[in-house]
Amino acid sequence: MQLWLDAVFVLIMLTNLSLLAASRMRLIIRAAAIQGVLLGLLPLLFSLEGSLAANLGFSAFVLGIKGLGFPWLLTRTCRRVRITPEIEPYIGYNFSVILGIVGLLVSLWLEHRLDLPVRVSGLSVSAAFMTIFSGFLLVVSRKKAVTQVIGYLAAENGIFLFGLSLAPHGPMWLELCVLLDIFVAVFVMGIAIHNIGREFDSVDIGAVDSLKD
């Protein structure tokens, strides 16, 4: 089981890198979807307490929202706002990937330094931190509002992972609440981006600072 877990963590790290390297809207949404599916598998592998049915339900819920719901929403928004398929980064893809790797190193160092009471796997906390860092890097370095949303999603994925690895036996409903929040947030963002795109003919967040005083 440990082997499977570690494999999933490594895969999550790789999806982070592919999020950073993706140059097309389709690719980055797909990477986010894969990350969501991987996260959805985790509750089953952690062998949480409680009935198999509850674990299966949780897993299905996470998978449904993160792996299917969000990507569908994002794709739909992209289509309706007719966003150009390019990502338009502030910093290049190669440099982003290098920064992602630096983030991975920092995460490994953090996991080594952090004195955590429970440890599910040697990689879980590193994977969590790296996902948070990658998410924020996406938020900071990409121009389009949709990529910002994906960045926040990735950051949330990291927080979810961190919570899951710290408290695998913890209250599941808390995770569900957070997930629901994010779901609503993405939903609202989708509508907001739609409206912004209609109003300003662009969802380039670089244009937002023309609104400052």
Partner 1 sequence: MGLFLASLAVLLAGAVLAPMAGRGRAANFFGATGAFLGSLLGLAFACLQLAAGGEALWSAPWAMPLGRLSLGVDALSAVFLLPTFILGAAAALSGHSALKGQAGRRPLGAHWFFVNVSIAATALVPAARDGFLFLVVWEVMSVAPFFAITLRDEDSRVRHAGWVYLLAAHLGAACLVALMALFYARAGSLDFALLAGGAAGPSVALFVLALVGCGAKAGFVPFHVWLPEAHPAAPSHVSAFLSGALIKTGIYGLMRIQTFLGAPEAWQGYLLLALGLTTALFGILFALAQRDVKRLLAYSSVENIGLILTAIGLGYLGLAKGFGAAACLGLAAALLHVINHALMKGTLFLAAGSVLHGAGGTIIDGLGGLGRRMPATTVAFAAGALAICGLPPGNGLVAELLMLLSAATQAAGRTFPVALAAWGAVAGLALVAGLALFAFTKAFGLSFLGEPRSPAAAGAHDPAGGERAAPLILAGLCLAAGLCAPLLFQAVLPAAAIVARTYPAGAAEGAALGTASLTWLSLAAVGLILLVAALAFVRSRLLAGRPVGRGLTWDCGYLAPSPSMQYSSGSFAAPMTGLMRPVLRTETDLAAPEGIFPARAAIESETPDWLLESVSEPVFGAVARFCDALKALQHGRTPIYILYILATLVALLAWRLG
Site residues for partner 1 per CB under 8 A: 90, 106, 110, 113-114, 133, 136, 139-142, 148, 205-206, 208-209, 211-212
SS3 state of residue 186: helix
User: What is the 8-class DSSP label of residue 170?
Assistant: S
Distance CA 138, CA 152 (A): 8
Of the pair 82, 212, the CB lying nearest partner 1 is at 212
Min dist. Cβ of residue 180 to partner 1 (A): 24
Min dist. Cβ of residue 64 to partner 1 (A): 29
Min dist. Cβ of residue 99 to partner 1 (A): 12
DSSP assignment of 24-58:
BHHHHHHHHHHHHHHHHHHHHHTT-SS-HHHHHHH
Which helix (H) or strand (E) element contains residue 12?
A: helix 2-21
Of the pair 48, 125, the CB lying nearest partner 1 is at 125
Min dist. Cβ of residue 148 to partner 1 (A): 8
Of the pair 45, 139, the CB lying nearest partner 1 is at 139
Min dist. Cβ of residue 62 to partner 1 (A): 25
Of the pair 114, 184, the CB lying nearest partner 1 is at 114
DSSP assignment of 64-98:
IIIIIIHHHHHHHHHHHHT--SB--BSS-HHHHHH
Of the pair 136, 183, the CB lying nearest partner 1 is at 136
Residues near 56 by beta carbon (within 8 Å), at least 6 away in sequence? 44
Distance CA 42, CA 167 (A): 13
